[in-house]
Amino acid sequence: MSTENALLTILVEKINNDTLVLPTLPAIALKVRKAADDPNINLNAMADVIGQDPSLSARMIKISNSSYMGRSVKVTSTSQAVTRIGLRQIKNIATALAMEQLFVSKNDIVKSYLEKVWQQNLKVVAASMAVMQLHIKETKNRTLNLDTMTLAALVHNIGVLPILTEAERHPEVFANPTFLNVAIDKLAGRIGASIMREWGFEQEFVNVAENWHDMTVQTDMISYLDFTRLGAVLAGQFDSQKDALLNLAVQKGILADLSTLQSEDYQELYDSASAIFA
């Protein structure tokens, strides 16, 4: 059996036996999510939780001062940032900002792969966020939340992490990127859904992680899955299906028409979203 097939067999067996080691949510994200679920939490207490991580505090202040929040008056403290963002949104935004901590490795080859995955994820996030903001502006439809969209797009491909971790034990596999892509295509969705469930995320995150790459799965109503897929198309994935998927987005009412994607509004929103994670 080739090394590639052996690794694929190992991955499938570990998934089936529920022994595949899944990544854990960054500690600060766990603390914020736990605090946000406390019905007695207040803004000051949440600011104290976030203040335990200077990096997250700085990024919270940055996002509070970005066009993401649509405000012009600058904030300068974590307390002000939490007040501006609000307890409802803070849970997903803090998780999204902490997510980069997972895409690291001491192995240079794996690190290189993870950096590529992370950068690709950021493109999907920026495109998804920009399209959603244009959609809300055009339709006034606010049934979906931008903070949830941000996190859903950021974790859509989270299933690649255990694959790369397992592959790290078989470094010769990295000489064949095609195999890794096949393994990711076959297994990442299933693994990603398991991670979302393990982390206790809501069903919409499970649905995105499990099905974003499977075009046979469609939703009747406009969903986070639709925006994530469209973000992936605009980030350079699904090239062979690009035109069909873009036209589907128009038919479903996600976009008014394709010229929207060439507008200055779209580019400004895309750039603003990209700057959040820069």
Domain ranges of the chain: 3-24+101-276
- Distance separating alpha carbons of residues 112 and 34, to the nearest angstrom: 32
Query: What is the residue whose two structure tokens read 């499970």?
Result: 206
| 26 pLDDT tier (thresholds 50, 70, 90) | very high
Give the per-residue pLDDT at 182: 82
Q: Give the residue among 161, 183, 127, 166 at the shortest CA–CA distance from 8.
A: 183
Both tokens of residue 214?
Answer: 């499977």
**pTM listed for this prediction:** 0.91
Q: What are phi and psi of 48, to 5 degrees?
A: -65, -40
Rounded to whole angstroms, the Cα distance separating 277 from 155 reads 14
Please state, in angstroms and rounded to a whole number, the distance separating the CA atoms of residues 152 and 224: 7
Q: How confident is the model at residue 2 (pLDDT cuts 50, 70, 90)?
A: low
Cβ-contact 122, 235 below 8 angstroms:
no
CATH homologous superfamily, domain 3-24+101-276: Hypothetical protein af1432 (1.10.3210.10)
Q: Which amino acid is at 13?
A: E
Residue 72 binned pLDDT confidence (cut-offs 50, 70, 90) = low
Question: What confidence score (pLDDT) does residue 69 get?
Answer: 72
SS3 category, 49 = helix
Residue predicted with more confidence, 81 or 66: 81
Burial of 197 (0-12, 13-18, 19+ CB in 10 A): middle
Token pair belonging to 12 = 């499938």
